[in-house]
Amino acid sequence: MRVAVIQQANSDDLAANMARSEALVRDAAAQGAELVMLQELHRSLYFCQREDTHCFDLAETIPGPSTERLGALARELGIVLVGSLFEKRATGLYHNTAVVMERDGSLAGTYRKMHIPDDPGFYEKFYFTPGDADFNDGRSGFSPIQTSVGKLGLLICWDQWYPEAARLMALAGAEILLYPTAIGWDLNDDDAEKERQRDAWITVQRAHAIANGVPVIVANRTGYEAAPDGSDDGVQFWGNSFIAGPQGEFLAHADADSELALVADIDMKRSEAVRRIWPYLRDRRVDAYGDLLKRYRD
């Protein structure tokens, strides 16, 4: 199956951002991609650099304008399209939510970000409520979304550091792990620290592919987004979107600065072959993992 991730820079012009996203999605589809994923919060600047109640005006309902537009695009191109939205679930209740649009334009499912960071320049706890641990129908918050191209294990940005999230998706039958992302450097860090952070981010996600025997696709934004206070801080998003196979091997890897549709072919049969020689799921000691349910083992 041919897949694509979209890497782009954003501005404060919402219409221009969406137009650019659409153009890159069309490029991916023209190259034969059946599954295309956009980066985290692709509609706007990364507003979480500050705590500002006016930013809640960016939120929208699901279904709503963005799902209608993304659904129409998916239907026109005959692809499965993954978007990322600032969701208004109810008055005063908001989520960072991934949406999956089917080939016919319908909404196949949603995933609400489970791990919410709160760090300088990434004040997401001010805006986002974590996804529910359990849905009303009994499904876990870490539940794959069934689509015409397979079961998609959607996780979002900060979720990507947690092996538990990837494993739970794999245990629920996810055939691919997908990470829409907005991550970059604090410009006050030196070059060595920047390199360590970027390499850690790439390594941990490739490790999720290896530990679970499934492909991983990652879409990160690129470009510099200034601090809202006008200082020289801000975030330099590091791009480096990539697509990896079930042994963590790179199938495609973007640079730091380019806006592009990154395309690669995934052999969906390789997961079966890899899990036969590395049967991690078989050898898990589920009887000995009780302490994982504790915050810390004293």
CA–CA dist 2, 280 (Å, integer): 27
CA–CA dist 258, 260 (Å, integer): 6
Q: Which of 22, 88, 157, 175 is catalytic?
A: 157
Tokens of 279: 């049967």
Contact criterion met (CB below 8 Å) for 239 and 7: yes
**Distances 40 to 154, 166, 184, 193, 294 between C-alpha atoms, Å:** 12, 18, 12, 24, 30
Q: Which of 113, 124, 175, 225 is catalytic?
A: 113
Contact criterion met (CB below 8 Å) for 240 and 253: yes
Instruction: Establish whether 55 is a catalytic residue.
Output: no
Q: How many CB atoms lie within 10 A of CB 268?
A: 15
Contact criterion met (CB below 8 Å) for 100 and 66: no
Q: Which of 22, 40, 87, 102 is catalytic?
A: 40
Catalytic residues: 40, 113, 157
